[in-house]
Amino acid sequence: MKSTKIRHCGTVLALALAGMGAAAQAQETLKIGVLATLEGALTVSGQDGMRGMELAMRQHNFTAGGKKIEVIRASSTGQPDTAVNAARKLVEQDKVAILIGPLSGSEGIAVKDYAKTQPNVVFVNGSSAAQETTLKDPASNFYRFSTDGAQWSAGLGSYVYNDKGYKKVAVVAEDYSFPYAQVQGFMIEYCKAGGKVTDKQWVPLGTKDYSSVIAKLPSDVDAIYVALGGSDAVNFFSQYEQSGGNKPFIGGSITVDQTVLSYKGKRRDALVGTPAAGPTADNWDDPEWKKFVQAYRDAKFDNAYPTPGLFAHAYYVNTKAVLTGLDAVNGDVGKLGQQLATMTVQTPTGPVKLDENRNGVANIFLTEVAKGDNGALYNRVVKVTANVTQTLGLSKEEFAKMGFGTRTNPECK
């Protein structure tokens, strides 16, 4: 009888311990690092990216796959070395299991290369949009649900030529990988339609004085394609206005983002009608987009914009992908990569799936800048192009023959 009681008590104790173990497992904390550009010319972009990440985390109650999530934030300046240094600290010192980021194009290429040295860590893009990050020598543990800069240009070149009537344009763009991709994506369509790009001026990230650039712009163009972001775009627009410039603009994706449209210069209203393309459109009449915009507003973030910018959107989408994936694998980071590679994520701008290089295939929006009744500028949707791939409708062989966008590729003078 005594031995029976002992066995019974032992069984109860074992069950109790098992229950305690399960409870402890449910409360396990998972560290996720988030890297954005919070210094330099793209600071406001990084701040909005962090808002997007924060919104996704709040909606998930900072838990996923049965685990609590501890977010560790890190900053870069937009330069590759600072991004890698920040990523290294998150991974090697803070011991994050997942890293979301970075923000800018060349940063993404550098972090992708670093990811190859950390095969047990899952790297998920923030908003960086250089083509080479996933299309050239990709890392098997780096995933991008937010597409690249060339994809963001889908529909723009043909629209500018056929509908706006701009037959000849000049380009002013920042001198690094993301704007190369943006200009290439625009020019593939524009040149095919018959357009000519007669002048390109590449400027360093963080340029403050554009007087020499403006002075060199040819007078016989119909419009100026501008691929500048953050304070770079604001400085250029302000100085172009002061110089008496009057050419219409064509916008790179980050040039007409909310981080730029909120600036207060007199030439601000001259942006109305500016065509652009990108991963979002402020007034898209879709229930999921409207829900996202309302949630962003209801979050009451400090210094937030009337609608979430493309950086908030990108960080939100990539963070949501991580959280959705963790739920699907019950928090097992070892299984997360395969889950991310094969799942479809429902986002505010439509479904996103990854290609064989783990790069997003998604909707892209052709837009024009418009002015609301409250005086705020926004991007009005003109057309939605579905399921845009990295090779922009070209076969892999055709795209490989053309090569990546550079200062001089492509050309159509």
Domain ranges, ordered by start, for the chain: 29-147+285-362, 151-284+364-402
Q: Give the model's pLDDT for residue 119.
A: 98
DSSP readout, 63-99? EETTEEEEEEEEEE-SSHHHHHHHHHIIIIIS--SEE
Considering the domain 29-147+285-362, what is its CATH architecture? 3-Layer(aba) Sandwich (3.40)
- pLDDT tens digits, 354-383: 999 999 999 999 999 999 998 889 999 999
Mean pLDDT of the region 14-31: 58
Distances (CA, A) of 192 to 189, 246, 247, 251: 5, 27, 23, 19
pLDDT for 2:
44
DSSP string, 359-402: BEEEEEEEEEEEE-TTS-EEEEEEEEEEEE-TTTTS-HHHHHHH
DSSP assigned state of 11:
H
Chain mean position to CA 378: 18
Report the C-alpha gap between 146 and 165 in whole angstroms. Answer: 31
Question: Same CATH fold, 151-284+364-402 and 29-147+285-362?
Answer: yes
Please report which confidence band the pLDDT of residue 264 belongs to, taking 50, 70 and 90 as the band edges: low
Residue 241: partners with Cβ closer than 8 Å, 6 or more residues away: 265, 266, 267, 270
What's the whole-number mean pLDDT along residues 16-37? Answer: 70
- CA gap 152, 174 in Å, rounded: 16
Q: Are 121 and 94 in contact (CB under 8 A)?
A: no
The domain over range 151-284+364-402 is classified in CATH as 3.40.50.2300 = yes
What pLDDT digit, counting tens, does each position of 285-335 carry? 999 999 999 999 999 999 999 999 999 999 999 999 999 999 999 999 999
pLDDT of residue 267: 62
Q: How far apart are CA 323 and CA 205, in angstroms?
A: 33
User: In a 3-state reduction of DSSP, which class is residue 168?
Assistant: strand
pLDDT surpassing 50 at residue 399: yes
The candidate with the shortest Cα–Cα distance to 222, out of 192, 190, 253, is 190
Name the phi and psi angles at 84, rounded to 5: -65, -40
> Please, which pLDDT band fits residue 352 given cuts at 50, 70 and 90?
very high
- Which DSSP symbol is given to 299? T
Residue 393: its pLDDT value, please? 79
Residues whose CB is less than 8 angstroms from the CB of residue 367 and which lie 6 or more positions away in sequence, other chains included: 256, 275, 276, 277, 278, 281, 282, 379, 380, 381, 382
Q: Which helix (H) or strand (E) holds 291?
A: helix 287-298
Residue that has been written with the tokens 């554009």 in this structure? 210
